[in-house]
Amino acid sequence: MKLKLSKFLALLFALGAIGGPLFGQNKVQKKSAEDPEVAVVYYQHWMTYPHGEAWKGYGWTEWNFVKDAKPMFPGHRQPKRPYLNYPDCSNPADVAMEIDLASENGVDVFLYCWYWYSGVKNMEEAIEKGFLKAPNNGKMKFAIMWANHDRIDQFRPEFGKPRTVWLPIRHNMKDSLNVLDYCIEHYFKHPSYWHVGGRPYFAIYRALDFIKQMGGAEKTSEFFAKAAEKMKSAGLAPIHWAGIAYNPEEAKILKDAGFDSTFRYNITMYGIKNHRERISKGEWIFNYKEVMEAAYDHCKTMADSSPIPNIPIVTQGWDSTPRCRQNVKFPPEKIEYPYGAMIVGNNADMFEESLRKAKELAKSAKNRPPAVLINAWNEWTEGSAIAPERREGMEFLRAISRVFGKRNPDKLCFALPYGKRVSVIDEPTQSHVKYGPHPKQFIDFWRAKSETPAPTVVYLHGGGWVNGSNLDERLLKFVLPMLKKGFNVASVEYRFIEDANVDGVYPPVKAPVDDAAAALNFLKSKASEWNIDTSRIALMGGSAGACSSLITAFSDAGSLVKMVSVWVPQTSLDPKQMREWDSGVNYGHHAFMAKSFDAFLADREKLLPLINKYSPYALIRKGAPAIYMTFPDSPDMGEKMRDSVHSPNFGPMFKAKCDSLGVVCKTNYGASPYQAVKDVEENL
C-alpha cells in the first residue's frame, strides 16, 4: 500500500472526513404521516437453526464471528459488542426489546431477509418464532425481502478456494406460486404486515435474475397476475412488488415486468465510480463521507429518472472482516467476498446528514416512494448495524428519531449498555446538544421545574473510558430522580480512548478529560437559557466518570464546580502509587497508551510528567471544590481488594492529601451510590 493505514485514518480526520458537523435540533418532533416511513433491513443469522448447525456445527451462529473478530489495523473498530448482549432473533423476549428500541426511535418496518429454495426454507424462525411471537409486535410492521441468491458458504471461507454452494436458487411459475401460498398463510394476513398503498409489500433481491429465470418480462407479468388472483381469493389486496435496480434502465425492465417500485439493498464503497481503479492502486479503505455522496447521487438519479418509485437507501457502513478468516492479512490480495475493501468513519452525525438528504429526496421525487430504507438493523458481520453497540451507543437510532420524529416525542427509549434491558425515561429538555465537533461530544439536559436558576448535576458516566453511555443504569437509578428534588441534570457523552487513538490525541486520556471540561464550559454558556445556577454545580460519576470528575474539578473549568460527589473513583493514575495502595491494581495503562500495566509501571519515570497532568492525586490544589467519595467496601491499605479497579484503598491517601491542603473531603465506606446523591442534596 502506498499509504500506511494508520496515517490514512489520520488524514481522513484531518480532512474532516470522519468528524461530523454540528446539528442544531434540540427537540425531537412527533412522527408525521406526511413523511416517508423508515424501513430497516433485518438480517436473522443471530440464532441457531437446523440448516446452520448442519452446515457449520452444533450451536453455531454468526455471533461467534462478532465475538472473536480482530482489528486488522490500528483504529479498526473491531470487535463489536451489541448492547443487548448478543440477542437471539428467534427469542420473542429479545425481539420484543428490539421492537421497543426501533419503534420508539422512529423505525417503522423491519424488512426481513427471507430464504426459500424450491420449498426448502431456512432462518424463517426469526420471523415465526421471534417477531410473530413477540408480545409487542403490534408496534412494528414487518415485510419480506426474498433473498433469492444461492446459499453459499461465505462464512469465513478459505481465501482463494471455491465456495461451497449449499442451496442453489431456481425460479419457475410453480415454485413462485408456492412461495406466495406460504406467505399468504404465514405472513400477509398478520395485522403487522407492511402495506404500501393498501397492498402488502414484497421485495425480491435479485429481481433481474428472477425475471430471467421466470422466462422474461411477459412470463413475470403472468406470474404477478396469477398472484393477484390468489390474493383476491384469500381476501387480500394485490401485492406491491419491489425489486432491486441499480439504475433507471434496470428500473424500466422491472416496470415492464410488472414491478411497482425499486430499491437497493445497500450502497458501499463499491458504489463509488472509480473504486476499482483505486483498489487496484492499493486503496482498500474508503471514508464514509464519499460513500454518502455516492449513495445520494444514485438516489437522486433514480428519483429524477426512474419510471417507477425508488426507495432511497442509507447505509450505516461496511466492514465484512468478521466474516473473513482472521489470520488472512488485510488488505487481501484481491476482492473475493467476504475479503475486500471497507468503510471507515461511519459516525452518527454523518449518518444523520444522509438520512436528511434521503428524506428530502423521497419527498421531492416525481414518483414518490413510500419509505427510506436503511441498511441495516443488525448486519454485524458486514459492518452495518444501527442497533445499539458499545462504541456508538444509541446514537444511530437517535439520529433516526431526530430526522423522522417518533411516535412518543416526550419519551426516550434506550438500551442500557450492560446486560439485556430497555428503559424509557422522559425525553431530555434539550436533546443531544453538541458542545464540540466530534460525534460523541454532546449533552442531554433535563431542566428542573423551577422559577429561579436551579442547582445542576453534571453526570459523567463510567466504563473505563472505553465502554458505557451517558444513558446508563446509574443515570437512571441515581441521578435522574434528583430532577424531582429541584436539580437540573446534564448527562455528558465524550470521546473514548479508541476515539482518541484514532484522532491522534496523546495521551488518550486527554480526550475524555478535555471533553468533560468543554462540556462544563458549554453549560456555563447556556446558564441563562437553561436556568442553571452557576454557583451550584456538582460533578457526579462512577469509576472512570468519577476519575474524570475529579480531574475536571482541579482544572481551570473546575472554578465552575462547587462540589464533586462520586462513587468508586480512581483517585490516582500513577501505577507505582496505585500498586502501593492496592497490590491487585492492573488499571490505567490504556489511558497512556501502554500495552500492559507492567509496561506502564516500567515506563513510569518517563511518563510521570504526563501522569501528573491527569492523576487526581497529583492535581489536588488549595481552594479545590469539596470532594465526597463513596465506596461499597472498607479499605485495607496495601492489600489486594475484592475489586481492585474500584478499590476502597483509593480513598485514604487521597483524603489525607485533601486534608493537608484544607480541601473538604468526605469518604463514605460500605455505602451505596445513594450516599453520593444524599451528599449532593445536602451540600449543593
List pLDDT tens digits, range 471-480. 999 999 999 9
The whole-number average pLDDT for the span 26-48 is: 93
Joined grid coordinates for residue 334? 484481491
The whole-number average pLDDT for the span 204-223 is: 97
The domain segmentation of the chain, as residue ranges, is: 5-19+38-414, 428-683
pLDDT for res 378: 98
The whole-number average pLDDT for the span 458-486 is: 96
- The H-or-E segment that residue 331 falls in is none
pLDDT for res 75: 87
List pLDDT tens digits, range 614-657. 999 999 999 999 999 999 999 999 999 999 999 999 999 999 99
List pLDDT tens digits, range 573-613. 999 999 999 999 999 999 999 999 999 999 999 999 999 99
List pLDDT tens digits, range 163-195. 999 999 999 999 999 999 999 999 999 999 999
DSSP secondary structure of 180-201: HHHHIIIIITSTTB-EETTEEE
List pLDDT tens digits, range 73-101. 988 999 999 999 999 999 999 999 999 99
DSSP assigned state of 527: H
Question: What are the start-end ranges of the E strands in 591-658?
Answer: 626-631
The Cα–Cα gap between 224 and 19 comes to 47
pLDDT tier at 668, thresholds 50, 70, 90: very high
pLDDT higher than threshold 90 for residue 245: yes
pLDDT for res 643: 96
The whole-number average pLDDT for the span 391-413 is: 96
Percent of the chain with pLDDT over 90: 94
The Cα–Cα gap between 37 and 370 comes to 6
- The H-or-E segment that residue 531 falls in is none
Task: Report pTM.
Answer: 0.94
pLDDT for res 667: 97
Joined grid coordinates for residue 149? 441468491
Straight-line distance from the first to the last Cα atom of the chain, in angstroms, rounded to the nearest whole number? 57
List pLDDT tens digits, range 527-539. 999 999 999 999 9
Q: What are the helix and strand counts (H, E) for the chain?
A: 24, 24
pLDDT for res 331: 94
Fold of 5-19+38-414: TIM Barrel (3.20.20)
Amino acid identity for residue 225 in this structure: A
**Which residue's C-alpha cell is 442509507?**
314
The Cα–Cα gap between 428 and 411 comes to 8
pLDDT for res 20: 40
Percent of the chain with pLDDT over 70: 96
Angle at 144 between CA 143 and CA 145, to 5 degrees: 125
My answer on whether omega of the bond before 516 falls inside 30° of 0, hence cis, is no
The whole-number average pLDDT for the span 2-9 is: 42
Q: What is the CATH number of domain 428-683?
A: 3.40.50.1820
The Cα–Cα gap between 431 and 408 comes to 14
CB 218 within 8 A of CB 160: no
Joined grid coordinates for residue 436? 464540540
Distances (CA, A) of 231 to 226, 485, 669: 9, 59, 69
**Which residue's C-alpha cell is 403472468?**
222
The whole-number average pLDDT for the span 136-147 is: 98
pLDDT for res 607: 97
pLDDT for res 13: 39
pLDDT tier at 16, thresholds 50, 70, 90: very low
User: Bigger pLDDT: 37 or 418?
Assistant: 37
